Amino acid sequence: MAKTALVVGASGIVGSATAALLVEQGWTVYGLSRRPVEQHGVLPILADLQDAQATSAALAQIDPDAVFITTWLRQDSEAENIRVNGAMVRNLLAGLPKASRSRHVALVTGLKHYLGPFEAYGKGTLPQTPFREEQGRLDIENFYYAQEDELFAAAQRDGFTWSVHRPHTVIGKAVGNAMNMGTTLAVYASLCRDTGRPFIFPGSAAQWNGLTDMTDAGQLARHLLWATESEAAHNEDFNVVDGDVFRWQWMWGRIADWFGIEAEPFDGTVRPLEQQMANDADNWRALAEREGLIEPDLSRLASPWHTDADLGRPIEVVTDMSKSRRLGFTAYQATDDAFYALFERLLADRLIP
């Protein structure tokens, strides 16, 4: 019998990649979103996880072998992030019918587990890099911790197994996503090429010079499926990155080359994309209309604030994958190839010129 999966946030970067992999592997896949989009092989479920009663009603006929939680909602403060996102996980897991067989629930969070929430991102006393799972939580409120606590409480109550997955910045395609560095950089490079503006690294010297890593959405999807199907990975937390390391001074030039532009030499000055792209909405709309692109709304493609947060960090960020490797996850993805694959897909889908 085919296994059944519920992918929560199926229209996002991680959710869409996870749903696609599960369909490819022969799973029956339900995709839950507030605004479902058409996805090959995915059965859509419309639900707002902030509404407990509506969530329960939407899930009444679903009995999944695995649940993948890949969504969150950004709020104006960390206290609100905790309240809203904790409730979403709680409502989801309380709304699922009692399992007729064993069930696994995988939660995707991220490296803010180690770096702190947006209000204190990369500040204060942080654990040493490379980040390792045994370093535990920071002594600060964080909505990722609230999501985990809801997961742990529901697992104890309902008897399912769980896994927590902490990617670094994720590379993948999604329109209207709040955290989307790959597409943001593709749009920025396209605007630089079109207007003749210099392609300027927006971040810090620490990020330009230091080692870092990233997580391709396909790599994360493979990790989620591996943890679901591997008993040794049950009831464990994991970092998950591509498996390579790089410096932005190298990657920035690689991205520039793909777009046929020159990378501006970095002089140590932080020049946030939020400032560089502040007046680009009309530029992008004109470019989209001239080139026949399908998304003229810049705000649905680019998230400069999030890219600035990642590239502006004052510390080197490298992530340890030893725990996954020891337990049998050996997949690898070259990060420059992940960028190129995303750019090719955006080009083919007429999202960039």
Catalytic member of 98, 114, 123, 144: 144
Q: Residue 318: which of 239, 211, 206 has the closest Cα?
A: 211
Helix residue spans in the chain (DSSP H): 13-24, 52-58, 78-95, 112-115, 143-158, 181-195, 205-209, 217-229, 248-259, 273-276, 281-291, 304-311, 322-327, 335-348
Distance of CA 146 to the CA centre of its chain: 18
Separation of alpha carbons 128 and 137, rounded Å: 13
User: Is there a contact between 326 and 239 (Cβ–Cβ < 8 Å)?
Assistant: no
User: In three state form, how does the secondary structure of 146-170 look?
Assistant: HHHHHHHHHHHHHCCEEEEEEECCE
- Give the DSSP letter of residue 298: G
From 3, 30, 98, 112, the catalytic residue: 112
Q: Does residue 145 carry a catalytic annotation?
A: no
- Confirm if 206 and 311 have CB atoms less than 8 A apart: no
Mapping DSSP onto H, E and C, the string for 185-236 reads: HHHHHHHHHHHCCCECCCCCHHHHHCEECCEEHHHHHHHHHHHHHCHHHCCE
Q: Token match 């560095």: residue?
A: 181
144 is catalytic: yes
Report how far apart, in Å, the C-alpha atoms of 148 and of each of 2, 16, 37 are. Answer: 29, 22, 28
Active site residues: 112, 144
